[in-house]
Structure 1
């Protein structure tokens, strides 16, 4: 059974999960359904200016021993924590109700009701999934979402999650005392799920500050927020782990905490016992929809730099070298003559990219950036993104059995619209659907010059079910000799357009040469 990370913001009392990826879990929900999509850094951007602090931040004294009570800390911080409510305008889509052509409800969805059912009017009134929206299909309608946030400066800057305020047409904040304030969205960053708001009303507001110390596993933490729309709520626990990758994006670096957080806690702060913010609550891992003691928070060191960039420019700029990378398996390391599996294998270098211009090629392994060794693809992406566009970086890489160094001038990470444009790398969706990652045989030492090597494979993917394994050499696809992954992807795509259900691969392995039929539409 897959246990989803359930949304932390609520819309009309109902949260919808975001698309699944990575560990088969879902990030905390979107403002009324917007999901966090993966891409770059968890805040490794040098701030150009500090977030405004015109008054002494709220802080409590550290206890001399494990606290008997958190009441003093809570008294110091609770006035800076707010409930965030947003209004958005959506267009009802028939696919919301009928996309699965099934009468079975999706998780969190009510069963379909027959016309005249006594419950029909109740659910229609509250806009539940599975019921027609007022005004009919395709008509714009208002929706609400809610979460949590916290004030970080006396002049009223507020931190929350991007998915809480994404697509918002109106944002209101409610303080612990019940006062309602209006706010504008200064900037958002989908890649780290962070957003910065500014209170419209003038005034000097109670606020908290980010911690300058990294919490240790086992340290006490306190989560404050607005679970289930109940209002200010406090829970306590410990830091369970650091550096968690939950499949939210290529730069996951979450704190795992066991302080109970639930729907509506999204964007709320996690404090240490000094009253400093050590994390921004973002996701939970749960089979039931409620807390089971596994929550995830964006670390303060990530949030600080992202928020500073949002305040300064309204957006976050990240460095980019333009390579598609993948982990180095033990088999790949051995075939390339590497002593360890650390580093990032370049599956392809994009045309006109900084890496391509510097001579980085498919089959090279990037080992370090500016003298710091790279553990894997995620670590490389963080380091490059942190440097920012226009900066120079010395890349240490493995090429033809030897280490080399090259200077690269970093570009700017393309936005999502640019990244979605057709390109050689985007042509390989067919391979991703099969659960395959391929590399030209010529780039893998000992594989020869003909064919394409299976560099990595999803053990649950359709290709693995057909018997393909890491290290297999694909010589032909659809009766044609191949030497590049893109050629196989193109052949599969053409076969799909022609209505064929499968493509025949000629595969060479340790057991000999054989043919394997792979589906052109693995999901079907």
Structure 2
């Protein structure tokens, strides 16, 4: 019996050992990739000279160390950075940053993040052999967070560029960079998602990974298993200041398009529709007659913009552009931004529950967007209704200021559905239940005919920004 037990345990041990060997064999070996690619990955440091301001209220003044007892002078020298003297005898301080980058051409073009070099007076690129080269900023694009640098050199080591669009979720990827200044640190993980939209980052469909990225990795390359760069490590999601499992990289297709424009023109031009959009949730999908939540809902059309000239209307739901589907509203800016200004685009939209094709000419994204200024004031006609709001008509001056042909402004919110959905005095209502509101009288009529126990949409302007909200009226 003991020999039987012994044989059983021996067999079990062999099986477990075999599984471990198979598991180990299935894990990728990154050593050759790192040996080949690492020479082209660089450390980037910057210096920015900032004149010292006179310390005011709430600011800490740096003390004069002269005349202090030795024990106090030693404390201040150790804990407070010394401020260099400016040429005029005043004081100046240096702001320093540290990041990563990679060489994309043998004659010295380097890619990194814009936030690594923004505002720098001096940019130093350090190669793996510890040699340092001063870099010149060719151009930077804050919207994509890409910067192109140039160092003087010949036959410099370069990375191989890959196609980020060929990446698959679950695929192994590797990062090389300088987290916290530790040069050429290597971390690996998998692609967690593609096409991620981040707040205030409308023009980059980020690659999400679980590769460990920390401060100093910014601007460094993200490699696939073939040793090709597929992205630039740019951001992390963190509550602690360090890595928490969510890293985001700029796709190489986006980065190279930006780099080529910066090299040729020193700036980047992007396509523009001239609309404000929002996500389509379940209730909005029901309200607009969609089978499922998808697309980008047009909440605002800017007067004189490409969308207005092409016939796009408030309340249209854009389902695709040039045949490329819009699953989430954040997909639209990515796709439009890649189009060349002046090019033609075909949009598939849902309007009043029916599919419609629109052809329009893409415009150029303005340098600085301007929000519409909201305004409220006394109207001519007043109305109350079952929604629990009092509204007044917009004056001609308000309509002109808001670029509106109609609409009503909320003067008072009473107890009722309006209070529950968060409406406020000063909100401007332009559409209710997919119908344009041109007067207080129209608003009252539409409100009286609202269906019960079904999602109803309302378009509201608050501080100049438009959005659709949904609600249901109970029996």
State the TM-score, normalized to the length of structure 2: 0.69
Q: Which residue of 1 aligns with 2:473?
A: 510
| Matches of 1:298 and 1:451, distance apart in 2 | 49
Q: Which residue of 2 aligns with 1:266?
A: 218
Q: Which residue of 1 aligns with 2:46?
A: 86
Q: Does the Cα contact within 8 Å between 2:205 and 2:334 map onto a contact in 1?
A: no
Deviations 1:315-370 (A, max 9, x none): 22111110111112222222222222222111111111111122222222222222
After TM superposition, give the deviation of residue 423 of structure 1 in Å.
5.5
After TM superposition, give the deviation of residue 409 of structure 1 in Å.
1.1
- Give 1 or 2 for the bigger CA radius of gyration: 2
Q: 2:130 aligns with which of 178, 181, 189?
A: 178
Q: Which residue of 1 aligns with 2:195?
A: 243
1:73 matched to 2:33: yes
1:124 matched to 2:80: yes
After TM superposition, give the deviation of residue 149 of structure 1 in Å.
0.3
1:367 matched to 2:360: no
- Alignment RMSD (CA, Å): 3.9
Q: Does the Cα contact within 8 Å between 1:453 and 1:472 map onto a contact in 2?
A: no
Please give the secondary structure, in 1, of the residue aligned with 2:242: coil
1:317 matched to 2:273: no
Q: Does the Cα contact within 8 Å between 2:204 and 2:334 map onto a contact in 1?
A: no
| Matches of 1:421 and 1:509, distance apart in 2 | 30
After TM superposition, give the deviation of residue 97 of structure 1 in Å.
8.8
Q: Which residue of 2 aligns with 1:450?
A: 443
Residues 438/238 of structure 1: CA separation in 2 closer, same or farther (3 Å cut):
farther
After TM superposition, give the deviation of residue 123 of structure 1 in Å.
3.7
Please give the secondary structure, in 2, of the residue aligned with 1:450: helix
Please give the secondary structure, in 2, of the residue aligned with 1:289: coil
Q: Does the Cα contact within 8 Å between 1:441 and 1:449 map onto a contact in 2?
A: no
| Matches of 1:452 and 1:185, distance apart in 2 | 61
| Matches of 1:338 and 1:346, distance apart in 2 | 14
Q: 2:162 aligns with which of 207, 211, 214?
A: 211
Deviations 1:387-440 (A, max 9, x none): 121111122222233222222111100112xx1465579979xx9xx8999862
Q: Which residue of 1 aligns with 2:380?
A: none
Across the two proteins, how many residue pairs are aligned to each other? Answer: 378
| Matches of 1:161 and 1:381, distance apart in 2 | 21
Deviations 1:257-280 (A, max 9, x none): 233221111001121222211221
Q: Does the Cα contact within 8 Å between 2:430 and 2:436 map onto a contact in 1?
A: no
Residues 289/91 of structure 1: CA separation in 2 closer, same or farther (3 Å cut):
same
Q: Which residue of 1 aligns with 2:260?
A: 308
Alignment gaps of 5+ in structure 2: 1-24, 61-71, 376-400, 404-409, 411-421, 448-454, 465-469
Q: Does the Cα contact within 8 Å between 1:256 and 1:296 map onto a contact in 2?
A: yes
Residues 256/343 of structure 1: CA separation in 2 closer, same or farther (3 Å cut):
closer
Q: Which residue of 1 aligns with 2:174?
A: 222
- Aligned ranges 1:335-484 → 2 under 5 Å: 335-416=287-368, 419-420=369-370, 440-442=430-432, 444=434, 449-450=442-443, 471=456
Question: Which shows bigger deviation, 350-359 or 173-182?
Answer: 350-359
Q: Does the Cα contact within 8 Å between 1:442 and 1:449 map onto a contact in 2?
A: no
After TM superposition, give the deviation of residue 91 of structure 1 in Å.
5.3
| Matches of 2:220 and 2:251, distance apart in 1 | 12
| Matches of 2:94 and 2:160, distance apart in 1 | 35
Q: Which residue of 2 aligns with 1:145?
A: 97
Deviations 1:186-245 (A, max 9, x none): 11111111111111x231200012213623233322211111112222222332333333
Alignment gaps of 5+ in structure 1: 1-64, 102-115, 128-132, 455-469, 474-483, 491-506, 513-524
Q: Which residue of 2 aligns with 1:286?
A: 238
State the TM-score, normalized to the length of structure 1: 0.63
Q: 2:279 aligns with which of 300, 322, 327?
A: 327
Please give the secondary structure, in 2, of the residue aligned with 1:245: strand
Residues 248/155 of structure 1: CA separation in 2 closer, same or farther (3 Å cut):
same
| Matches of 1:406 and 1:217, distance apart in 2 | 33
Greater relative CO, 1 or 2 (CA 8 Å, sep 6+): 1
Q: 1:257 aligns with which of 198, 209, 215?
A: 209
After TM superposition, give the deviation of residue 302 of structure 1 in Å.
2.4
1:166 matched to 2:118: yes
Q: Which residue of 1 aligns with 2:19?
A: none
| Matches of 2:82 and 2:183, distance apart in 1 | 21
Please give the secondary structure, in 2, of the residue aligned with 1:125: coil
Deviations 1:280-315 (A, max 9, x none): 111223333333333222222222222222222222
Residues 363/120 of structure 1: CA separation in 2 closer, same or farther (3 Å cut):
farther
Residues 272/240 of structure 1: CA separation in 2 closer, same or farther (3 Å cut):
same
Residues 371/220 of structure 1: CA separation in 2 closer, same or farther (3 Å cut):
closer
Q: Which residue of 1 aligns with 2:108?
A: 156
Q: Does the Cα contact within 8 Å between 1:160 and 1:280 map onto a contact in 2?
A: yes
| Matches of 2:130 and 2:274, distance apart in 1 | 49
Say which structure is richer in strand.
2
Q: Which residue of 1 aligns with 2:383?
A: none
